[in-house]
Amino acid sequence: MMPVTEDELADVIRDADGPLEVRGGGTRGIACKGAIVSTAGLTGITLYEPGALTLVVKAGTPLAEVEAALAAEGQRLAFEPTDMRRLLGTGGEPTIGGVVATNASGPRRIQVGACRDHLLGVRFVDGTGNIVKNGGRVMKNVTGYDLVKLLAGSYGTLGVMTEVSLKVLPLPQAMASVAITGLDDMQAVAAMSAALGSPYDVTGAAFVNGRVVVRLEGFGESVTYRAEKLMRELATFGAASVTDFDWQALRDCAVFGNRSGDVWRVSIRPSRMPDTVAALRAGGEVDVIADWGGGLLWVLCRAERDLRADITTGHATRVRGTGGAFPRFHPEPAPVATLSTGLRRRFDPRRILNPGVMG
Amino acid sequence: MQMPDPSARVIALKERLAERLRQVLAADAVISDVSETRAYECDGLSAYRCPPLLAVLPASTQEVSDVLRICHEMGVPVVPRGSGTSLAGGAMPTADSVILGVSRLNAVMETNYADRIIRVQTGRTNLSVTGAVEGAGFFYAPDPSSQLACAIAGNIAMNSGGAHCLKYGVTTNNLLGVTMVMMDGTVVEIGGAHLDAPGLDLLGLICGSEGQLGVVTEATLRILRKPEGARPVLIGFNGNAIAGACVSDIIKAGVLPVAIEFMDRPCIEACEAFAHAGYPDCEAVLIIEVEGSDTEIDHQLALIGEIAARHDPVEVREAQDADQAARIWLGRKSAFGAMGQINDYMCLDGTIPVTELPNVLDRIRQMSAEYGLDVANVFHAGDGNMHPLILYNANTPGDLERCEAFGAAILKLCVEVGGCLTGEHGVGIEKRDLMHVQFNAADLEAQMAVKDVFDPGWLLNPAKVFPLDASEAHRAA
């Protein structure tokens, strides 16, 4: 089914007599047993005001179209939405609705926040066919409860988004990556923490193959100035140099794309990175890439291994792989699960929207 | 302001309730004497007052849990209170409610510069959070103008903003985790020092829920390293529309100042008379602050200067030293005090799309003439968060009502042009009945469904946020 208006979508959901799989571009590996409801008929930029840093766009609009429109005005989605196609081997075109529904946020999250932090408003159809709006298109808005953030990252389980408003930001004039090689986990976290705790406005901090890479963005002279300052400040960890680094590949975890095994995202506080990685290694062979200054681990491991058995802090989500008797998302403690279940029951009483995708 | 009739059943429970609360709290933490409960009769929206049935001051998460469990068992409404600085009546009690003040919960639980977080009990004031980390060169970014007094608990309840949101975001963008006590006494941990939510983003839902979903007792907050330096520039213009266009051009040019503050002529004049900051005699003033090293600041201010020059400025005054910077901010920071000297005032908080600024300011000026009340505008222009100050005289019969009607008309205008009723103060009781202007029945039902899940008995701060006619069925259920 491919409704072309919000009202049509509401009818589809109201009249559904069984589970529905909500589909944007179908690139993020979220599937369930149900009739497919596509947002591909709900497309187009409703409003774009570069001078107000705001964009209102229909949920099924291809991400590429959104990014092209913003680039033409020297702006961008600053939270760096991930593109999962290389990692998951999926086809299709990512949509803006899919980005929001999965709160897909890249390396810049540590500085500007996640997708949810840039989401100003949503329109959605809940599981009973009610059309609901929340938030708006202005930067500061505390009018009523913030269902905007609740919908971000809800994987289509509370409602099907039809339109989203986003805060956009200027594209920087220049970018530089500063790297230090030959570090172990402990030294790497210390170096990234030093960079992120500096006044130099770091917009990315990753640890890949023994190499810490830190990103700076802004006006040309400013980037040069900060890169030099930062290299001096990080000298205690080793010789730092300006380097080339593929931030997009890091964002998408593309390097695990052509390797077999399951892939997980583990979210922890950065200082727990070394002991968490050690625990994961003790439990079997893993390959780890660290982003967010050590706060996000992309982990490649053998299929059907339950990584949660080995971590003692934070939480883990499996993003690739289906075997094994454990859920995709980290089980919540009982009182929290009660709240999540209660919300799902209220927004989707028949439990027909992406059933089983989240819990 | 209409509130539901206080429950005679609950009022009759006062002695029994006080006795049970004294069993779980320190003797001085249960306030039942009528002369003492009066201290809690209002918050910053002082036009409305009502002493609570009781006030309690728990000193731990366990004590908060005990209080809520007891009130839940006895069916007694609870109004959580931070420091009571809400301008929206968020902490205003009812005669049949217990005020739960978190002021005794003020410890720092953990500071971790490597992870760039601080964990505090929520009775701690906003400014003292920065105070706890500034020795190491860090700060907590959200800076509401009440930051000396306001508590983190209230900041979370209202999702408070401040002058520097354009770059650093508001409370919800700087909150990583909470310990929250549910109305039935259950303690839940949401989020933590990590970034991702494991499931639904409950943290985002809790922030800004105006004390209606639970009582947050501890919070993990993001702290940031202070920039190398900051410098403001003051630019005077011949008209509001010109100043508004300049703001838009600066943003379009890719400069992202940490603050862009806007003052109109009535506000400039009042501030001059009060603080003698030496502001130019003109229609509108922008104060723009940028951050970074000296070179970076020079570069950004040069760009801003070039853009401003295209808008025929009356004056461009760049601070040459700390003293001049302070003078530039002096007028802006004394704006509310200056207004208070002239008259009583009501401070509104609607947000509009930045592009609508000139239009909205014109309309407000017309309405000011129609209602016969003066209004001064001072606000965060970068994010469109307006703060019209309507002047009235509380001692003149009918003035408050006229002021409220004028205020409502301005807020309706904000919604009409694509904005919202409140950008950072919250709905409380002040804007409760205007919620119908921004939301239809389905929009409000979706929000109230959340409260049904978190607080099925509607005992936490029940008569706020949602228009009484809309919430009646939920409250009675």
CATH level 2 (architecture), domain A174-245: 2-Layer Sandwich (3.30)
Q: Is the pLDDT of residue B477 over 80?
A: no
Banded pLDDT at B401 (limits 50, 70, 90): very high
ipTM of the modeled complex: 0.97
Residue A358 at interface with chain B, using a CB cutoff of 8 Å: yes
Q: Can you give the pLDDT at residue B49?
A: 94
Q: What residues 278-337 of chain B have any CB closer than 8 A to a CB of chain A?
A: 292-293, 295-296, 299-300
Looking at beta carbons, which residues of chain B come within 8 Å of A116?
201, 204
CATH (domain of B298): 3.30.70.3450
Residues of B in contact with A162 (CB under 8 A): none
- Among B225, B242, B276, give the residue marking a domain's end: B225
Q: What's the distance, CA A359 to chain centroid?
A: 19
Among B115, B170, B220, B465, pick the best mutation site for testing chain A contact (most A Cβ within 10 A): B115
Distance from CA of A93 to the nearest CA of B (A): 25
pTM equals: 0.97
Instruction: Quickly list DSSP for B209-233.
Output: STTSS-EEEEEEEE-EEPPS-EEEE
The CATH number of residue B13's host domain is 3.30.43.10
**In sequence order, what are the beta bridge partners of B31?**
B55
Q: How far apart are CA A303 and CA A263, in angstroms?
A: 9
Interchain pair B173, A222: CB under 8 A: no
Judge: A295–B195 Cβ closer than 8 Å, yes or no. yes
| Distances B115 to B183, B195, B314 between C-alpha atoms, Å | 32, 11, 46
Q: Is the pLDDT of residue B432 over 90?
A: yes
Residues B356 and B306 in one domain: no
Residue range of the domain that includes B16: 8-101
High-pLDDT (> 70) share of chain A, %: 100
Q: Say if B428 falls within a structural domain.
A: no
Chain A contact set for B422 (CB, 8 A):
141-143
Residue A172 pLDDT:
94
Does A35 score more than 90 pLDDT? yes
Q: Does A285 touch chain B (CB under 8 A)?
A: no
Determine the Cα–Cα distance for residues A147 and B90; give it in Å rounded to an integer: 20
Please identify among residues 239-278 of chain B the ones whose CB lies closer than 8 Å to any CB of chain A.
Answer: 247-249, 251-256
Q: Are B442 and A130 in contact (CB under 8 A)?
A: yes
B159 contacts on A by Cβ (under 8 Å): 142, 146
Residues whose CB falls within 8 Å of the CB of residue B313, separated by 6 or more in sequence, listed in order = B235, B236, B237, B246
* CA-based nearest residue in chain A for residue B182: A335
Across the interface, which of B198, B201, B446 has its CB nearest the CB of A126?
Answer: B446
How far off is chain B from A118, nearest CA to CA, in Å?
9
Given CB atoms, is A43 within the 8 Å cutoff of chain B? no
Give residue for tokens 């849990």: B65
Phi, psi (rounded to 5 degrees) for A303: -60, 145
Instruction: Give the amino acid at A96.
Output: I
Q: H or E stretch including A336? A: helix A334-347
Cβ-based contacts of B194 with chain A (< 8 Å): 267-269, 295, 314-315
Confidence of residue B248 (pLDDT cuts 50, 70, 90): confident
Question: Does residue B105 surpass a pLDDT of 80?
Answer: yes
Per-residue pLDDT averaged across A208-236, rounded? Answer: 96
Using a CB-CB distance cutoff of 8 angstroms, which residues of chain A are in contact with residue B446? Answer: 126, 130, 132, 134, 147, 347
Q: What is the largest CA-CA distance in chain B?
A: 71
pLDDT at B286 over 80: yes
Residue B90 has pLDDT above 90, yes or no: yes
Question: Looking at the predicted structure, is the pLDDT value of residue A341 above 90?
Answer: yes
Distances (CA, A) of B322 to A167, B33, B147, B319, B358: 33, 50, 22, 7, 32
Domain assignment of residue B434, yes or no = no
Q: Which of residues 236-255 of A touch B (CB under 8 A)?
A: none
Q: Does residue B2 fall inside a structural domain?
A: no
Q: Across residues B68-78, what is the average pLDDT?
A: 98
Q: Do A269 and B193 touch (CB under 8 A)?
A: yes
Residue B339 has a pLDDT of: 80
Q: What's the pLDDT score for residue B380?
A: 87
Residue numbers of A between 52 and 91 with CB closer than 8 Å to B: 52-54, 73-74
Picking from B225, B259, B290, the residue at the C-terminal end of a domain is B225
Domain boundary among B206, B225, B244: B225
pLDDT for position B333 = 81
Token pair listed for B42: 């209002």
Q: Do A197 and B422 lie within an 8 Å CB cutoff? A: no
Chain A positions touching B185 (Cβ under 8 A) are none
Contact check, Cβ <8 Å, A335/B182: yes
Give per-residue pLDDT as tens, A281-340: 999 999 999 999 999 999 999 999 999 999 999 999 999 998 888 999 999 999 999 999
Examine the pLDDT at B337 and tell me if it is beyond 90: no
Residue A66 distance to chain B (closest CA, Å): 17
CB spacing of A269 vs B115 below 8 angstroms? yes
pLDDT in tens, B345-359: 899 999 999 889 889
Count of structural domains, chain B: 5
Which candidate, A335, A146, A342, places its Cα nearest to that of B184?
A: A335
Mean pLDDT computed over every residue of chain A = 96
pLDDT tens per residue across span A81-108: 999 999 999 999 999 999 999 999 999 9
Same fold, A6-170 and A174-245: no
Q: Distance between CA atoms of B416 and B437, rounded to whole angstroms?
A: 9
- Please list the helix, strand and coil fractions of chain A in percent, rounded to the nearest 5, in that order: 35, 25, 40
| B458 in any annotated domain | yes
Confidence class for position B165, pLDDT limits 50, 70, 90:
confident
Q: Do A51 and B443 touch (CB under 8 A)?
A: no
- Answer yes or no: do B292 and B367 share one domain: no
pLDDT of residue B450: 98
- Tell whether B437 lies on the interface with A, counting CB pairs under 8 A: no
Once rounded to an integer, what is the mean pLDDT over residues A156-174?
Answer: 97
Question: Do B82 and B155 contact (CB within 8 A), yes or no?
Answer: yes
pLDDT given at position B145: 86
Q: What is the mean pLDDT of residues A129-134?
A: 98
CA dist A107 and A293 (Å) reads 9
* Confidence class for position B379, pLDDT limits 50, 70, 90: confident
Q: How many CA atoms lie within 13 A of B134 on its CB side?
A: 9
Question: Average pLDDT of A240-265?
Answer: 97
Residue B170 DSSP one-character state: -
Task: Judge whether B110 is closer than 8 Å to chain A, CB to CB.
Answer: no
Contacts of A49 in chain B (CB under 8 A): 353-355
Per-residue pLDDT, A79: 98
pLDDT over 80 (residue A359): no
**Chain B residues within 8 A of A137 when measuring between CB atoms:** 353, 418
- Residues B190 and B137 both lie in one domain: yes
* Average pLDDT over every residue of A251-277: 97
- Which residue of chain A is at minimal alpha-carbon distance from B226? A199
Is residue B95 domain-shared with residue B143, that is, in the same domain? no
How confident is the model over A170-209, as pLDDT tens digits? 999 999 999 999 999 999 999 999 999 999 999 999 999 9
Mean pLDDT calculated for residue range B410-439: 97
Domain positions in chain A: 6-170, 174-245
Amino acid occupying residue A311: I
Residue ranges of the alpha helices (H) in B140-189? 152-158, 165-168
The size of chain A, in residues, is: 359
My answer on whether B367 and B306 are in the same domain is no
Which residues on chain A are in Cβ contact (under 8 Å) with B435? 143-144
- Per-residue confidence (pLDDT) for residue B353, from 0 to 100: 93
B237 and B218, same structural domain?
A: no
Q: What is the fold, at CATH topology level, of the domain defined by A6-170?
A: 3.30.465
- Contact of A103 with chain B, judged by CB distance below 8 Å, is answered with yes
Q: Same domain, yes or no, for B122 and B186?
A: yes
Is any Cβ of chain B less than 8 angstroms from the Cβ of A339? yes
